[in-house]
Structure 1
Amino acid sequence: MTETIDFTGDENIGVYTRVFEDHAFVPLNAPEEYVSVLEKRLGVEVVKTTIQGSSIIGSLLVGNSNGMITSGLATAEESEILKSYGNVMFLSRTMNAAGNIILANDELAVVHPGTPERVVEKISDFLDVPVLMMTIGGIPTVGMAAVATNTGILVSPGITAQELKELEEIAGELPIGTGTVNMGSSLVGTGLLANSKSFIAGSSTSGYELGRIEDVFGFV
């Protein structure tokens, strides 16, 4: 079965797509082959849409089984589409790239360290998880520096010992491991889609990188 794919020639599939346990959101121009691979590989219903008129859905949407968080600039039509698949929280217009600044699963969330505390509290209440404000490998856009599912967390290999310790304390027994995608990119969120069923990586991801992903998420 396909383990790697590109999005209309771009290996950074995580920028364009957001995957949850039962559904995934992709741009309107997503090729049918791309949609079919996601459906079969990840066991999801694929929904075509835009967010604030943009195709970079992976950068603008995040969440867990309790709901989705997205840009406050989403249109009424886009918002209704999202709401038909779950509860939705909208970020302010000044810091709205939810998929970039938030990493989340059903156990925890990590947010950009510059996120206002009142917003952090809202995120925690909405997703019903404890929230850490931190960088990963010094990268504040934590949603692109890591990928979190309910079976594991793959983080940038640049993660510091202190960052790892903080993440481990909140993650409990959930496996955490380092890895890269697309021949060495440490921004793993840009090139990896995953849920508890399976994963698919950007087209340039090497066999070694795929093996590491399988190991961290327990697919071996």
Structure 2
Amino acid sequence: MAMQTSAYDGNPHIGMFARANEALVLLPLGAHPKFVRAADALGARRIAATVASSNLIGIFCALNSHGIVVPSFAEEEEKGFFKGLGLNVCVLPSMFAAVGNNICANDKGAIVNPDIPAHWRKKIGECLHVEAVPASIAGYKTVGSACIATNKGFAAHNRANDEEMEMLRSVFGVQGANATVNMGSPFIGLGVVANSKGCMMGEATSGFESSRIMNALGME
């Protein structure tokens, strides 16, 4: 499986700026060619886009192969663009605007901030064609920042306990492991962009961390 390290304008927290599923990777408009080339590790179609007129794609959306969840202030043109890519679109209210921090999903399941009401969890699940399960990881409700999941594995906050790890295995239907990224950050979702074919990691990630993440994602 392919792996690349990169940064977005010098920022190693690349999960803030990109998001991927099995078929495509969403990248900021005007991203540096080096960052764009690193995305080739994912073996997916590269799509230049914005969400809510922002380059913070990873913060403002959650994505799997079936759909995308965006905040209420996403532009109509953006929602139409994503529908044109064959994705269902779900719009969350502004109180959960940092959608990518509040949802972590693969094609088998999703975990969401437990403060998201049940009727919105249902809408998320319908959009992504999975069950959306309320959860926290290592005391954090922003589960999308504390975990990343693909159809082959997941990597979670290094302080996620055994009970939480078992819950993640059940929801995502794959094995996983605790990990850190970018020289000790436990917020894996902010430092990694991945699908089942490959991954990008922040350029500050150590060799030990990258090996741990690759193993957690079922790529070694």
If the TM-score is normalised by the length of the shorter chain, which range does it land in? Answer: over 0.9
SS at match of 1:184: coil
Q: List per-residue Cα deviations over 1:81-120 (Å, max 9, x = no partner).
A: 2121122111122222211100000111000011011101
Shift of 1:166: 2.5
Shift of 1:164: 2.2
Counterparts of 2:167 and 2:24, CA distance in 1: 30
1:145 paired residue number: 146
Q: Which moved more, 1:186-195 or 1:116-125?
A: 116-125
- 2:82 maps to a residue whose letter is L
Please state which structure has a larger fraction of its residues in strand. 2
Q: What is the identity percentage for the equivalent residue pairs of Structure 1 and Structure 2?
A: 34
Q: Within 5 Å, which residues of 2 pair with 1:4-23?
A: 4-23=5-24
2:125 paired residue number: 124
Q: Which moved more, 1:142-151 or 1:120-129?
A: 120-129
TM-score scaled by length of structure 1: 0.94
Contact 2:106 2:172 in 1 (8 A): no
Shift of 1:2: 6.0
2:79 paired residue number: 79
2:106 paired residue number: 105
SS at match of 1:54: coil
2:202 paired residue number: 202
Structure 2's unaligned 5+ residue stretches are: none
Counterparts of 2:194 and 2:49, CA distance in 1: 19
Counterparts of 1:214 and 1:164, CA distance in 2: 17
Counterparts of 1:128 and 1:79, CA distance in 2: 18
1:94 paired residue number: 95
SS at match of 1:3: strand
1:161 paired residue number: 162
Structure 1's unaligned 5+ residue stretches are: none
Counterparts of 1:197 and 1:164, CA distance in 2: 23
Give the alignment's Cα RMSD to 1 decimal: 1.5
Counterparts of 2:121 and 2:76, CA distance in 1: 24
Q: Which moved more, 1:204-213 or 1:26-35?
A: 26-35
